[in-house]
């Protein structure tokens, strides 16, 4: 039997675990090393899975950008988990109709490359809790934000993870790759 596709979540996070609104704090740390890591993640995927909020943020920016990363994001198949959005309206984008967990289980069984999640905090939590997330890649920025939505708020279900890769960039960002233990 062929191996299942991997579901890989990649998030920018602060030292205090804030993942909300990285566009407000991430860019001073973006360097060539991080750009290469993000580019590699996109090269290993053929589908981008997002929640509605992340999708709308991406759709408002990326169609108007140029360059290799913009080409990758604009060209990739995009699936949006949303109960309110009916029409995706962006190149190669579709809304998941119905049960997201069931849809992701089916997506994992289909042939193809990785399925990446970018941002999409609630969706990342749900897939991790459902045992569907194969890899969690955190780009930990050397900044304490003090407030904002955290990936793992108080009350999160205990979930053991194993560190399978790490790197530290000149900007001070740590690239940490975890898999469920």
Q: Determine whether domain 7-12+34-180 maps to CATH 3.40.430.10.
A: yes
Residue 145: count other Cβ atoms within 10 Å of its Cβ: 19
How far is 24 from 46, CA to CA, in rounded Å? 28
pLDDT recorded at residue 83: 87
Separation CA 147–CA 16 (nearest Å): 9
Report CA dihedral (130, 131, 133, 135) to the nearest 10 degrees.
150
Average pLDDT over residues 149-167: 93
pLDDT of residue 4: 81
Per-residue pLDDT tens for 34-53? 989 988 898 899 999 999 99
Chain segment 65-112, per-residue pLDDT in tens: 998 888 888 999 999 999 888 888 898 999 998 899 999 999 999 999
pTM, two decimal places = 0.90
Domain residue spans in the chain?
Answer: 7-12+34-180
């Amino acid at each position: 039997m062929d191996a299942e596709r991997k579901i890989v979540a990649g998030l920018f996070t602060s030292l205090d675990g804030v993942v909300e609104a990285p566009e407000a704090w991430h860019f001073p740390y973006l360097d060539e090393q991080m750009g290469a890591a993000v580019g590699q993640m996109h090269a290993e995927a053929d589908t981008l899975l997002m929640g509605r909020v992340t999708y709308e943020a991406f759709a408002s920016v990326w169609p108007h950008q140029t360059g290799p990363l913009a080409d990758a994001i604009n060209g990739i198949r995009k699936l949006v988990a949303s109960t309110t959005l009916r029409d995706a309206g962006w190149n190669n984008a579709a809304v998941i109709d119905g049960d997201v967990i069931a849809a992701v289980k089916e997506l994992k069984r289909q042939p193809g490359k990785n399925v990446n999640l970018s941002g999409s905090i609630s969706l990342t939590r749900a897939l991790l809790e459902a045992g569907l997330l194969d890899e969690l890649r955190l780009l930990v920025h050397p900044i304490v934000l003090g407030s904002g939505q955290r990936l793992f708020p108080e009350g999160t279900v205990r979930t053991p993870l194993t560190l399978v890769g790490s790197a530290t960039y000149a900007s001070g960002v740590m690239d940490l790759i975890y898999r469920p233990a």
